[in-house]
Structure 1
């Protein structure tokens, strides 16, 4: 099955997993794709690769034997596609893209067969105020009780792993230490008394919400975990940070956004502030470590405003 993965995906995998791991998975991708297409059902027709696509997986636009358009997503093991499958199955289309295949057919393959959305139209195509309103409404739908015996890690577990990398970044560059220390102190206080354990998207932002047929807007690409709503909402607070950094009054706008989103979704403002700080510093230090200096500096400047 001949195709070229989008260069955006190739670059992103190299940044996230290292050139060796990325190259190995990309070398195996044609075989993985052929196997996934066969497992997804008889007479599945591949139309084309979705481009520019995302940063974590290959998405093929396909059509099922009955003519139904669909999307076949193939992700490397570090992306934990089985946890994504479990979350999407639990939401079952409520606020999120709906899985189409029985779990047994593609389970363990790193592939998911999903309803097809309009991948070229995300909330980022809307004016900022409208986009934030639609995003908040979509995110609210995802906050449900997790399934019994779920496979998801907790916010405390995920952020605990991230804290080690943040400390290492501060040791390598002492200029980062004040922000890292503030972020880690906020995390310590927040995880000491988490108010709820709900199923969270984990990486929710405007570009993860696509136009659909079944509903106007549906989210994709969860990195699911369980914890409090404020953690999930914190990533949305930072959306379009590069625009804020480039505009006068960006700091005041960022702080107003924390207040407005906390009020609109009935989330404790202080907890949202703390998780926004932690997630901005974590993203910034990780980007610097991966060589994405511009993105790292944007996130750290945003964190400094808080």
Structure 2
């Protein structure tokens, strides 16, 4: 479906209704941004001389349009991603530029002021969700080898990201004290370990890896930080969670995912396990603040499996 000149774009209304509930994070509120996203998209289409080539897709905070270069017969398929400005997305273009297509989707152009990225088009119908779990983890581990390049000095350090959460956790009365002590103490120890920081994706789960002709798999949607490579693996436990099982089966599945991924990535499995405990703690904090009992229980259970 190629839009006629002057038609569209129109972000899906249901998605705009959802995003309108988001409070501002250093930029426009979700509601204010939702009123401007179609205009921003039109401006990007004009600036980069693009025509829409299919139906829009939506992620958590961005709308993505398949596009082609206008009046270029041999134009490669691209996508235009326009996202709500928030802290986690602010440096996405910097990470993609640093990777330059190695292990990740290739960045063609960026307009940070509009929250827009022009990217190579991957196969959005094929991710790692349906791939056998050991194979999926091995593929993610292989991507980690490519993605963990020296962190550019412009990327926010992990310490600056974690410290506010650790401080908030220490003040909670609805999280078990043993969990608070374990997570905050462990985070301080791990952050004090020497070593040059690498560029972290931080959200490298099974749905954020798509099939590609040059891949076969490439990462998308980074939330970049600069820190130790072992920090990267928790999303592989948080996603496809039901497949972990319960009790002793969950403990085995958790360790198996870590072992397979670390072997493929060349990471220390014990260090990765400890970082997963820290990240479980942050998820527990968020669940407590949101009064989300289901997520709180899920992450306490996962933390226990990591500790046993």
TM band (smaller chain) = 0.7 to 0.9
Any residues of structure 2 matched to 1:208-287 within 5 Å, and which? 208-245=208-245, 249-287=249-287
Any residues of structure 2 matched to 1:33-112 within 5 Å, and which? 33-39=41-47, 41-42=48-49, 44-51=50-57, 53-65=58-70, 66=72, 67-79=75-87, 81-101=89-109, 103=110, 106-112=111-117
Structure 1 residues 34 and 166, CA gap change in structure 2 (3 angstroms): farther
Is residue 166–residue 180 contact of structure 1 (8 Å, CA) maintained in 2? yes
Alpha-carbon offset, residue 8 of structure 1? 5.7
Q: Which residue pairs with 1:26 in the alignment? A: 34
| Runs of 5+ unmatched residues, structure 1 | none
Alpha-carbon offset, residue 297 of structure 1? 2.7
Is residue 11–residue 56 contact of structure 2 (8 Å, CA) maintained in 1? no
Alpha-carbon offset, residue 7 of structure 1? 4.2
Q: Which residue pairs with 2:125 in the alignment? A: 120
Point out 4+ residue stretches in structure 1 off by more than 6 angstroms.
none
Q: Which residue pairs with 1:155 in the alignment? A: 158
Helix, strand or coil at the partner of 2:29? helix
TM-score for both structures, normalised by structure 1: 0.85
d(CA) in 1 for partners of 2:246, 2:55: 33
Is residue 200–residue 227 contact of structure 1 (8 Å, CA) maintained in 2? yes
The one-character-per-residue Cα deviations of 1:75-107 (angstroms, maximum 9, x if unpaired) are 122145451111111111101000112x5xx24
d(CA) in 2 for partners of 1:300, 1:28: 40
Structure 1 residues 8 and 27, CA gap change in structure 2 (3 angstroms): closer
Is residue 15–residue 291 contact of structure 1 (8 Å, CA) maintained in 2? no
d(CA) in 2 for partners of 1:165, 1:50: 38
Among candidates 164, 167, 177, match of residue 170 of structure 2: 167
TM-score for both structures, normalised by structure 2: 0.85
Taking only aligned residues, the RMSD between alpha carbons, in angstroms, comes to 2.6
Are 1:5 and 2:26 counterparts?
A: no
Helix, strand or coil at the partner of 1:73? strand
d(CA) in 1 for partners of 2:280, 2:20: 21
Aligned residues: 294
Is residue 11–residue 63 contact of structure 2 (8 Å, CA) maintained in 1? no
Alpha-carbon offset, residue 303 of structure 1? 1.1
The one-character-per-residue Cα deviations of 1:272-305 (angstroms, maximum 9, x if unpaired) are 1211001122123314434554334322211121
Structure 1 residues 63 and 295, CA gap change in structure 2 (3 angstroms): farther
